[in-house]
Structure 1
């Protein structure tokens, strides 16, 4: 069995727990949602570019949940395999071996979410 998680399952499970947190911590979750919206909106950089950066940080930070959410969003925004490969390469450059392992996770997430969108 693969040690790489199912990213569809991961995103679904975390989303469910975040819904619970919206009930128990409404102010925190509303503020986080505002932060996410502000951090990914079009500006000098496009939303897609900002999501690509976020994915690189998620890989370097070794956060599978973050990888799942950002790849899912990037697939919806029309990421190409070439764009993904560039982000993976940059993340590995900045994070070394551990980022290489999580770059493989991001590639699996891309394959899962791209199959959904096709």
Structure 2
């Protein structure tokens, strides 16, 4: 299955879940909104941090969403690469494996 298809499937799953637990979903969305502004860090910088956490925690759906957000924010392949290199330095072999997935997501979503 392609990353685009996986991303679409995940969005469909979340839509269904959001319909089941709307108050929880709204609360989570409100939390997310609090960090999506430029303050001491830009939103793009915060998304780099989020991608790093997604790789470190081995969360494929998180990787897809944060790569997608970074693409919308104008992140380059080289910038993504530097984030992934830092993930590998901090997380070792498991981060190396998920960094490869993250780069593949970036490449597919930008092709």
On whether the aligned pair clears a TM of 0.5, the verdict is yes
CA distance in 1, matches of 2:59, 2:2: 14
11, 15, 26: which is aligned to 1:30? 26
Q: Deviations over 1:17-58 (max 9, x none)?
A: 111112110000001111112133221100100001000110
Residue 6 of structure 1, CA deviation? 2.5
Provide the TM-score with structure 1 as the length reference: 0.89
CA distance in 1, matches of 2:95, 2:35: 23
CA distance in 2, matches of 1:53, 1:14: 21
Two-structure CA RMSD over aligned residues (Å) = 1.1
Matches within 5 A, 1:1-118: 6-115=2-111
CA distance in 2, matches of 1:41, 1:65: 22
Q: Which runs of 5+ in 2 are unaligned?
A: none
Q: Which runs of 5+ in 1 are unaligned?
A: none
**What secondary structure sits across from 1:42 in the alignment?**
coil
**What secondary structure sits across from 2:75 in the alignment?**
coil
Provide the TM-score with structure 2 as the length reference: 0.95
Structure 1 runs (4+) deviating above 6 angstroms are none
